[in-house]
Amino acid sequence: MILLILAAQAATLGATNYSASGPMPAPSGKPSFADEFDGKVIDTAKWRFDVSRNAAGWYNHERQYYAKDRPENARIEDGSLVIEARRETLDKTRFADWGGQAYTSAKLVSREPRGYGYYEVRAKLPCGRGSWPAIWLLPTGGKWPDEGEIDIMEMVGWDPNIVHATLHTEAFNHTRGTQRGAQTKIATACTAYHRYQLDWRADAITIGIDGRAIMRVANDQPGGKAAWPFTRPYELILNLAVGGDWGGQKGIDDAAFPQRMAVDYVRYWRR
């Protein structure tokens, strides 16, 4: 059973610490969906590249241009998906949507949205200052954060090896300072692969690493959808941002680039 750390978890909008500890084993059966990244190229039947805000600029004042199907930024290498952020400018005649960014990277989004179930992504993270890797879920359409956001893993390079798990909703989000989440230190987050996991149920969302929970949020707050919009399928997102309000809080170390996030596999068991 998950053991909640209750000291900082009063039932108010100011409650942000939802740390948990307890076993969180992956299901033993065959996944409903999997990408083992064992082919030669990224499977575009399973993933699309999000390039929607390259010209206008990305949210959170991030500094990257997300390339589409460009091997320098996203490729299969040694049985893993590699998302690489690079310090470079592009040629506007070749990249018509380039918005003048000084960094390139990639953002992959699952073609099919998925809902309740168990998700596991085995990944090795970058630690360069200015890097901001993420494994997360968003629904299609609607206004943020009203429709919800599930962050299975985020880490910023200026605070290496501190891994964050967070939920955002209309009532509980970072713009209010009320987001519900937890963090933990993984000493080898940047040098070894770890399993980042989500157990999404109608009554609770639990996030863990390597088979052990680090965060649990129950569907027990008043407010209806404003507190719990997690009732429909979401798209899974893998990306490596550069800079931004959080990732760039301590500046960007250009000498540390290129930076890579490597993903060994993505697996999902439908519930």
Nearest to residue 91, comparing CAs of 70, 76, 109?
A: 70
Q: Which of 120, 147, 149, 170 is catalytic?
A: 149
Measure Cα distances from 19 to 138, 175, 214, 225 in Å. Answer: 22, 20, 6, 23
Q: Nearest 5°: CA angle at 13, between 7 and 18?
A: 40
| Beta-strand relationship, 259-270 and 80-87 | antiparallel
Residue 251 and residue 197: Cα distance in Å, rounded?
Answer: 30
Residue 103 and residue 108: Cα distance in Å, rounded?
Answer: 17
Active site residue 36: no
Q: Which of 84, 120, 154, 170 is catalytic?
A: 154
Tokens of 7: 């000291």
Structure-token match 């009320």, residue found: 178
Amino acid making up residue 74: A
Amino acid making up residue 169: T
Active site residue 149: yes
Question: What is the longest distance spanned by two Cα atoms in the chain?
Answer: 57
Tokens of 179: 């987001």
Which residues are catalytic, by number? Answer: 149, 154
